[in-house]
């Protein structure tokens, strides 16, 4: 059964400043104003519908700007990899990543829409396992941000995660767990900073473009965003004091938009 009955858009103006030095890979910037990308390739295991992915499209929200657009095909089946996705052509590693993006505003049309936007890194290597750092938003509740990592091997995955309602200034939880259904152990001390967060009045990831980013180091990860009015850097989570949960090997830089069967609200989903 499909839970996404509408075609909705995901627009990106993306810039990346990856790895301040060339120790691991070259820095690059992609603004998506052209019809083709220098640094990303398109990936989708779903329908090959051309409208699912388009670069250099005029933005309705930002007049005079060209953006990347993603659309979900309502005829596509739900599941990971089925929707539109961009994947870096080259591997990336430690460094600073940032993107300016707006998620689809679908809640008023279909309140329980089962779709999620992901801005993340992801690569599985047979020896060290999974290397993933992510931001995620449910279209059903775009005032909430899910951030975290996945490391390890299938069946023995490790997750560190934090869930934030930025409109209310509430951190719902910050935890560690093993695999998808493991017991959530609250993180404390240096692994739980900041312990509180100020609300951004009216925050809604689908209402406008926001700039999000993460700084990835061997011994710490910092997720952040820029305040939409002041431009101040807001630290969403700075995880340090342990290397557990911090990916150590190379990965691919990605963004995607996909439908999930039955994924409709924070209380009903299985992540972060």
Contact 2, 74 (CB under 8 A): yes
Identify the segments of the chain with pLDDT beneath 70: 1-25, 261-272
Residue 254 DSSP one-character state: E
For position 194, what pLDDT does the model report? 98
- CA distance linking residue 79 with residue 100, whole number of Å: 25
Both tokens of 57, joined, read 């499209």
Contact 83, 227 (CB under 8 A): no
Place of tokens 């989708």: 44
- CA distance linking residue 151 with residue 161, whole number of Å: 12
Secondary structure (3-state) at 50? helix
For position 2, what pLDDT does the model report? 32
Secondary structure (3-state) at 268? helix
* Sequence-separated (6 or more) residues with CB below 8 Å from residue 242: 190, 191
Secondary structure (3-state) at 12? strand
Strand residues in 29-169 grouped as ranges (E): 40-43, 53-58, 66-71, 85-88, 95-102, 115-125, 129-138, 144-153, 156-165
For position 7, what pLDDT does the model report? 33
Class of domain 9-268: mainly beta
Which residue, among 197, 199, 176, 201, has the nearest Cα to 186 in the 3D structure?
176
For position 3, what pLDDT does the model report? 31
Place of tokens 């934030």: 164
For position 181, what pLDDT does the model report? 87
For position 270, what pLDDT does the model report? 36
Strand residues in the chain grouped as ranges (E): 9-13, 40-43, 53-58, 66-71, 85-88, 95-102, 115-125, 129-138, 144-153, 156-165, 170-178, 185-186, 210-216, 220-226, 233-240, 253-259
- CA distance linking residue 99 with residue 117, whole number of Å: 13
Which residue, among 16, 12, 191, has the nearest Cα to 96 in the 3D structure?
16
Other Cβ atoms within 10 Å of 5 Cβ, number? 11
For position 23, what pLDDT does the model report? 61
Other Cβ atoms within 10 Å of 240 Cβ, number? 15
Domain boundaries, the chain: 9-268
């Amino acid at each position: 059964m499909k839970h996404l009955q509408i075609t909705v858009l995901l627009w990106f103006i993306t810039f990346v400043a990856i790895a301040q030095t060339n120790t691991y890979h070259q820095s690059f910037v992609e603004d998506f104003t052209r019809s083709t990308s220098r640094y990303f390739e398109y990936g989708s295991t779903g329908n090959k519908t051309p409208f699912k992915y388009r670069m250099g499209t005029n933005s309705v929200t930002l007049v005079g700007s060209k953006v990347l657009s993603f659309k979900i095909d309502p005829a596509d089946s739900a599941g990971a990899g089925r929707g539109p996705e961009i994947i870096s052509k080259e591997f990336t590693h430690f460094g600073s990543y940032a993107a300016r993006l707006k998620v689809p505003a679908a809640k008023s049309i279909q309140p329980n829409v089962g779709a999620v936007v992901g801005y993340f890194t992801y690569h599985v290597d047979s020896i060290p396992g999974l290397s993933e750092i992510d931001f995620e938003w449910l279209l059903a509740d775009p005032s909430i941000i899910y951030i975290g990592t996945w490391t390890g091997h299938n069946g023995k995955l490790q997750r560190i995660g934090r869930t934030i309602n930025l409109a209310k200034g509430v951190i719902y939880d910050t935890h560690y767990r093993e695999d998808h259904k493991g017991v959530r152990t609250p993180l404390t001390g240096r692994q739980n900073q900041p312990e509180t967060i100020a609300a951004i009045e009216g925050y809604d990831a689908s209402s406008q473009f926001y700039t999000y980013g993460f700084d990835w180091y061997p011994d710490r990860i910092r997720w952040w965003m820029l305040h939409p009015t002041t431009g101040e850097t807001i630290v969403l989570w700075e995880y340090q004091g342990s290397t557990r949960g911090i990916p150590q090997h190379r990965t691919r830089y990605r963004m995607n938009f996909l439908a999930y069967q039955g994924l409709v609200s924070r209380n009903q989903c299985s992540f972060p």
